[in-house]
């Protein structure tokens, strides 16, 4: 019998790619926010019972980090209580939940040169991080098999994210001002989806061999690290390098006005929510467990830009 896979957040950055990367593994159903609103917990229960997935990949989340400060209950419902409800339903038949969490579960005070490991102490400094951490803990407590993947600095060539924001601002301004004292690993949504497919495929193999799904918490990010300033500069550099390509570039076409990126401090970046200074995560565990290694962030960026222009 074909594996039944249910994806939430079908139109999100990762969910959109998951529909394609997971298709070879089974019968995939992907639900948009209109089809399943995670703020409605009873709807979450009904969806799991109706579709009876063998694997549920939860790619939906409340990701408006600053807005979460004024909507803590809504953020908690979507990021913590909804995944808990999924896990409780899946536990009835020992089905697998794959869930995405975040680097924001950490306070970011670890020295920048050091990457966070899965067993490091957590300490979120904003509402978003607290709700995502609660979601992790509730999933574990529910008793279903689970794979929680902490991801960081996710972007894509579609949707609302840093890459598209930089390109928009670069058409409007002579120079860009970006935070230079926060560090992470920009990770393309497609590589996360591709890695998820590998992780699920290898989990299926182990399930066939042992009769049980593997469970665990893993970090999954691009290799190497940079600051928001470094990320923005790389976007402008790669964009200029690809402008000569003879292609119909759509929204990625035309010259950019901005040529410089000026560093500012976290304190100068006025936002409702504080951000971790260090968002670098170690990928050693996911590499050892599933043999998954993501390319470095700069290589991913170039591939994403080429894909948008092609």
The structure tokens listed for 82 are 């909804």
- Distance in angstroms (rounded) separating the CA atoms of residues 301 and 234: 8
The pLDDT-based confidence of 79 (bands split at 50, 70, 90) is very high
Global pTM reads: 0.95
Mean pLDDT of 88-108: 97
Across residues 215-225, what is the average pLDDT? 97
Considering only 38-47, 189-198, 240-249, which range has the smallest mean pLDDT?
A: 240-249
By C-alpha distance, which of 8, 73, 1, 2 is closest to 38? Answer: 8
- Give the C-alpha separation, 268 to 254, whole Å: 31
Q: Which tokens hold the place of 153?
A: 């600095």
Q: What residue spans define the domains of the chain?
A: 4-154+189-221+281-294
CA distance from start to end of the chain: 38
pLDDT at 38: 98
β-partners of residue 30 are: 7
What positions carry a catalytic annotation? 128
Q: What pLDDT is stored for residue 56 in this prediction?
A: 98
Tell me what pLDDT residue 215 has. Answer: 97
Residue pair 131/76 in contact by the 8 Å Cβ criterion: yes
Question: Minimal CA–CA distance to 82: which of 190, 9, 159, 3?
Answer: 9
179 closest CA partner among 127, 120, 119, 231: 231
pLDDT confidence bin for 1, thresholds 50/70/90: low
Residue 255's pLDDT band (cuts 50, 70, 90): confident
Q: Report pLDDT for 243.
A: 73
Say which CATH architecture domain 4-154+189-221+281-294 belongs to: 3-Layer(aba) Sandwich (3.40)
Over the stretch 115-171, which tens digit does the pLDDT of each residue have?
999 999 999 999 999 999 999 999 999 999 999 999 999 999 988 899 999 999 999
């Amino acid at each position: 019998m074909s594996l039944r896979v249910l994806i939430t957040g079908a139109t999100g950055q990762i969910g959109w790619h998951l529909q394609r990367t997971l298709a070879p593994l089974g019968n995939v159903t992907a639900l948009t926010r209109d089809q399943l609103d995670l703020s409605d917990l009873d709807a979450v229960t009904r969806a799991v019972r109706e579709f009876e997935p063998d694997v549920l990949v939860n790619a939906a989340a409340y990701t408006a980090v600053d807005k979460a400060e004024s909507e803590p209950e809504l953020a908690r419902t979507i990021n913590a209580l909804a995944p808990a409800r999924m896990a409780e339903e899946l536990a009835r038949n020992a089905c697998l939940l794959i869930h995405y969490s975040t680097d924001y579960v950490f306070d970011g005070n670890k020295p920048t040169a050091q990457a966070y490991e899965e067993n490091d102490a957590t300490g979120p400094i904003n509402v978003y991080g607290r709700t995502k951490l609660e979601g992790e803990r509730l999933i574990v407590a529910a008793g279903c098999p689970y794979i929680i993947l902490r991801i960081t600095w996710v972007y894509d060539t579609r949707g609302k994210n840093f890459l598209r924001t930089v390109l928009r601002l670069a058409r409007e301004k002579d120079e860009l001002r970006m935070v230079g004292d926060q560090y992470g690993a920009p990770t393309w949504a497609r590589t996360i989806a591709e890695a998820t497919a590998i992780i699920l495929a290898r989990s299926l193999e182990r399930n066939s061999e042992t009769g049980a799904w593997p469970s665990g918490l893993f970090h999954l990010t691009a290799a190497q690290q940079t600051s928001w300033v470094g990320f923005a500069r790389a976007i402008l550099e790669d964009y200029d390098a690809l402008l000569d390509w003879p292609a119909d570039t759509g929204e990625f076409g035309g010259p950019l006005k901005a040529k410089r990126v000026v560093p500012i401090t976290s304190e100068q970046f006025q936002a409702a929510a504080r951000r971790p200074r260090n968002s670098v995560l170690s990928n050693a565990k996911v590499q050892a467990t599933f043999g998954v290694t993501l390319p470095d962030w700069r290589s991913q960026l170039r591939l994403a830009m080429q894909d948008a222009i092609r």
